[in-house]
Structure 1
């Protein structure tokens, strides 16, 4: 037949189809036979004399799964009322290869819609399917490479520090983003290659190589020195080229590796190794992908290294402006903390200071100069030194801030500053505090409650002098033994988009729930607010605790501060007295002590302008008795009165005479203390002198 085509020069439709390995078939569904032309049998790999017109014979080479799929396609078309169907079949050939065969058929039905005949064509579709599969695989590889680059770029775009870069590459999903099974990342530092990141199963065997002299003994170092990438599809070949790798090769469960130099702006930063468990040929596309990843990592590392260097410079400058050491104080403990914002060279003007003062007092200050730059830090350093000098001269707190404001106003700057300054007498617990546009302090009481004393404030330093309003009114506070003063800058309590009152409430809660010791409380606040401190503002924190005075097991002692504006303070103090005496096994005196406590504290809160300090202690010798003292800031001593029958007050001293063994009044600093002793009656003493009464008793 071929010769006839050649001699005649004419090719008919059937011949044209046969030349393109396309044939036809006619399937009689009623008879169960199928007629296939010679070209169609050639497509199915059957000789005409071997075909028995049975459909099963035509497809007997199909494997079970492929045959089931074809049957499903045909049955769905027949039962679904379709007029046609098409399918691609993977047909095994006698030589062991496989051929893609395309079947396209039309279903003929009678007037009732019953299918009785199928006619169609079959053709060899191997060439187009192979090309399609190649295109699909190529597109799949390219999409995978694009995804790797996009995911890696996205992850590294959020990296600020070198630690951030290593976390992005080695953290959850890091290796998957790179399309690798292991990673080693090294930076060149002082002639050595410092491995800063290892990730992947079995790579821990390289731990001892984390810091190694930069020489050509190892593939990653060789890559860094030569500046050329190294792609290895065989670890045995790699070990042969680098014998120093032999002790580790057997434990490294990888079959291929890519060693890549990390270069940014013509500077060799280090090297990166990517490891693969599966065989990897490193085609041109795969090599380009690896080199592209190395370029992305190098650029991120360059930015991160620059940021870390700038931050180190900034924090060094900030540290130089702050006190190098905090002096120890007698009668208390002080802890300070400073945290810089993560903003490169943008240092802030926050500061703290502890200033020894005459008469065994100490000055404490926290403040903040406007701005976040080196100029703010420089102004802060000058202002801190000036304020320290004014305080050291012994001036009152209001005078210290007035002079500091004038000093700032006279500098060649438009910056202003806020601060809170307090002079503390740890012997008496007296605190004289002033503030200039700054947050007031918090006081943690001995029972864990936290108070927010109201400090009247003046204008910020510098602004006050500009407006000629250098009034900084003092507020008197009291720290009983064991109480703590907490001062901070606004970076601790302010968050973008949040109310500062919420931040202050959160700080008060943290102070209340923290340990009582100053250092431990400062650490507790650091841990609690670390995320806030790592944001966009600096933080200065100062914690001062007056040493506790618990007495001894034989002679215990408690102190309690009752704020005048606290309506619950009086009832809480009475409860504290009753509970303490019960714990000390002196509950028989609890009723009298509680009654006197209420009377003395009520007088202070009613007739003075401040709070009161309650001290309850046991005097062990010669007979155990209770001593109760209430200290206030008023210099006016109590007067004995003779109230009438209808009077509602004036019986306090009569009550003391009736219930106390002795009582008296003593001057304390700017105020006084009313004290009394409660215990066994004089008749129960053996050979004791009768107690004295009145202010002269001692």
Structure 2
């Protein structure tokens, strides 16, 4: 009696409290409204406070890792589609401390009179203790935990997949089969009324090559899984052939597999493909195995759907961008021109980068590189209009400064907030003279014949559009020279800009790539666009234009070389002397090295000190009527040199006296907007 009295005095423990004491909570899920009610014990299982939960199932994703949520959803979806009345599954959730907690759930599916599910009630519980015990006493659980590791590794691999090709590579590349614990794998993608196998991996899997494209008619288990949206787990492929799919008979022996799983890839209630896994030593699939594999299929389906959408958007974006750029680049005598464009890996985000090559009168060509602000269809549309307008202004014969001023006014009149940066240059292919203007854009790079790389200083104006808005439509023109064999490179900032880094590092990398790159324009353009565009992570679109004046080496009897010495390059004089010495030695004229080097030094110093630009140096052998060596030094000054008679104490004025002393003869000729001073040397031996 005393014992019964003590029992009678103890508090009554209700059903909810009994669940809580066992670390178990309950839930009630309204499938139509999406409301997901969790009692206090259920909230404790998910490590949520009442004020952190709004009664919507999606809120729980803050606690459930993505791959676990996909696997759990696959279990629920499979139970609903199959008509079952209940389901159960283990999964992991993330507590607020960052620790992972094994959790178990079991749900009862309630259906209406037509069999449609409308509600799920069930329990969730902290299953950490269960898993600890199972690891010791249940060898099967060890395998299931290993399968969970496979889910994590597969999710990690697929999370980096962007395109359909990336998804296929993640499944078939190094470690791909290990994600599924399988010996063979086939990935199929629905294309119209057919299933196309886009990836095969594993020993002997090549026997399925004949099935790379087959109709969705249910004659093969992959197609059947797609049509029914139901997985098929097979413990004996031979029995499957006899009982259901005789068409598979010729392939079973070659596969050498005993068991297989045919998993539909379903995204947004639509079959997009199928994943087939083949096993040589497996004899059965447990409930946990099936749940895990369905979860894997769900992860693959989500990645594949995302990749398909990306590929479609990228195809649209690149097609739109390509339609805005010139289809064909004209060919010009005396020059090689190559252009390249790479779209950013940003799906439907198209850029405003562009290039253009314009045929102008009198053996001239206009070259353009530019970038409209923004990465969307509006930027691409503005780019197309601006490119055509700038081409029209250039074709009318206007000077470069006028072309950009009118282009800026045109952009401002489009009533858009976008601006554009640009470089426009008129190149005289006969003389190598360049007249260039810059509107807020990266300047050009030049590769000289002696291997030096230079960034000519182009005085610039404001970006197009801004220049008009602020009333500053002045674009100073800069004159440059491009001697035969030299290369001019124009690009947009996507080729030199790495996110988070100083652009100067990218410019240095570009200069080094140009210095060590191939000689021909097309090969150099490929070299730059592939190496640097991939190096910076493909986050921005890139336009690139390479112009190279064809080399002019002369002939074996009359060799020739050309050099450009920039006024601001302190090493230019030293480099030019070295090049001259080497050339004369190669031509068998070493006896003239000292005289030619002295004359070249005097003429070059005269240009660099007394004019506002650089000098173009040409050394050539003239075999007729008398064999001789001629040195040319050209500049853009109209002031002719004067031979003076300096006094003994004078520190300058002896340049032409020295030239007159070492050369057989010399003279001056007008050249366009400048002049050319020349001098000739005759070898005593008469050899050339």
TM-score by length of 2: 0.78
**Aligned residue among 214, 218, 221 for 1:219:** 221
**Aligned residue among 151, 160, 170 for 2:172:** 170
Distance 1:187 1:632 in 2: 66
Question: 1:150: which partner in 2?
Answer: 152
**Aligned residue among 302, 306, 311 for 2:305:** 302
Q: Secondary structure at the match of 1:251?
A: helix
Q: How does 1:488-503 map to 2 (within 5 A)?
A: 488-503=491-506
Distance 1:680 1:546 in 2: 31
| Contact kept in structure 1, 2:167 and 2:304, CA below 8 Å | yes
Distance 1:211 1:662 in 2: 80
Distance 1:351 1:182 in 2: 46
Q: Secondary structure at the match of 1:529?
A: helix
Question: 2:319: which partner in 1?
Answer: 316
Q: Secondary structure at the match of 1:385?
A: helix
Q: Secondary structure at the match of 1:279?
A: coil
Per-residue displacement from partner, 1:163-198 (whole Å, max 9, x unpaired)? 221122222222212222221000111322111111
Distance 1:152 1:572 in 2: 57
Q: Secondary structure at the match of 1:250?
A: helix
Question: 1:12: which partner in 2?
Answer: none
Distance 1:332 1:534 in 2: 32
Q: Which has the higher mean CA deviation after the structures are superposed, 137-146 or 359-368?
A: 137-146
Per-residue displacement from partner, 1:117-163 (whole Å, max 9, x unpaired)? xxxxxxxxxxxxxx978953354244233323333223222322112
Distance 1:615 1:133 in 2: 83
Distance 2:660 2:158 in 1: 79
Shift of 1:235: 2.2
Question: 1:423: which partner in 2?
Answer: 426
Question: 1:454: which partner in 2?
Answer: 457
Distance 1:562 1:166 in 2: 54
| Contact kept in structure 2, 1:533 and 1:539, CA below 8 Å | no
Per-residue displacement from partner, 1:397-421 (whole Å, max 9, x unpaired)? 1111111111111112100111111
Shift of 1:542: 0.5
Q: How does 1:41-440 map to 2 (within 5 A)?
A: 136-240=138-242, 241-440=244-443
Q: How does 1:460-475 map to 2 (within 5 A)?
A: 460-475=463-478
Asked if residue 575 in structure 1 is aligned to residue 591 in structure 2, the reply is: no
Q: Does the C-alpha gap of structure 1 residues 499 and 533 become closer, same or farther in structure 2, counting only changes over 3 Å?
A: closer
Per-residue displacement from partner, 1:552-581 (whole Å, max 9, x unpaired)? 011100000001111121122122111111
Shift of 1:533: 5.4
Distance 2:532 2:602 in 1: 43
Distance 1:497 1:385 in 2: 34
Question: 1:620: which partner in 2?
Answer: 623
Q: Does the C-alpha gap of structure 1 residues 467 and 248 become closer, same or farther in structure 2, counting only changes over 3 Å?
A: same
Distance 1:242 1:624 in 2: 89
Asked if residue 641 in structure 1 is aligned to residue 644 in structure 2, the reply is: yes
Question: 1:28: which partner in 2?
Answer: none
Shift of 1:283: 2.5
Shift of 1:638: 1.2
TM-score by length of 1: 0.77
| Contact kept in structure 2, 1:257 and 1:275, CA below 8 Å | yes
| Contact kept in structure 1, 2:450 and 2:575, CA below 8 Å | no
Q: Secondary structure at the match of 1:550?
A: coil
Q: Does the C-alpha gap of structure 1 residues 133 and 543 become closer, same or farther in structure 2, counting only changes over 3 Å?
A: closer
Q: How does 1:644-659 map to 2 (within 5 A)?
A: 644-659=647-662
Question: 2:62: which partner in 1?
Answer: none
Q: Does the C-alpha gap of structure 1 residues 133 and 394 become closer, same or farther in structure 2, counting only changes over 3 Å?
A: closer
Q: Secondary structure at the match of 1:618?
A: strand
Distance 2:261 2:348 in 1: 37
Specify the structure having the higher radius of gyration (Cα). Answer: 1
| Contact kept in structure 2, 1:341 and 1:534, CA below 8 Å | no
Per-residue displacement from partner, 1:329-378 (whole Å, max 9, x unpaired)? 22101011111111111111111111111211111111111111111111
Distance 1:200 1:489 in 2: 44
Q: Secondary structure at the match of 1:297?
A: helix
Distance 2:142 2:575 in 1: 74
Shift of 1:643: 1.4
Question: 1:519: which partner in 2?
Answer: 522
Shift of 1:425: 0.5
Question: 1:537: which partner in 2?
Answer: 540
Shift of 1:284: 2.5
| Contact kept in structure 1, 2:497 and 2:536, CA below 8 Å | no
Question: 1:39: which partner in 2?
Answer: none
Distance 1:585 1:222 in 2: 81
Asked if residue 597 in structure 1 is aligned to residue 600 in structure 2, the reply is: yes
| Contact kept in structure 2, 1:386 and 1:407, CA below 8 Å | yes
Gaps of 5+ in 2: 1-132
| Contact kept in structure 1, 2:225 and 2:232, CA below 8 Å | yes
Q: Does the C-alpha gap of structure 1 residues 651 and 133 become closer, same or farther in structure 2, counting only changes over 3 Å?
A: closer
| Contact kept in structure 1, 2:581 and 2:590, CA below 8 Å | yes
Distance 2:283 2:157 in 1: 25
Runs ≥4 residues deviating over 6 A: 131-134
Gaps of 5+ in 1: 1-130, 686-698
Distance 1:227 1:611 in 2: 74
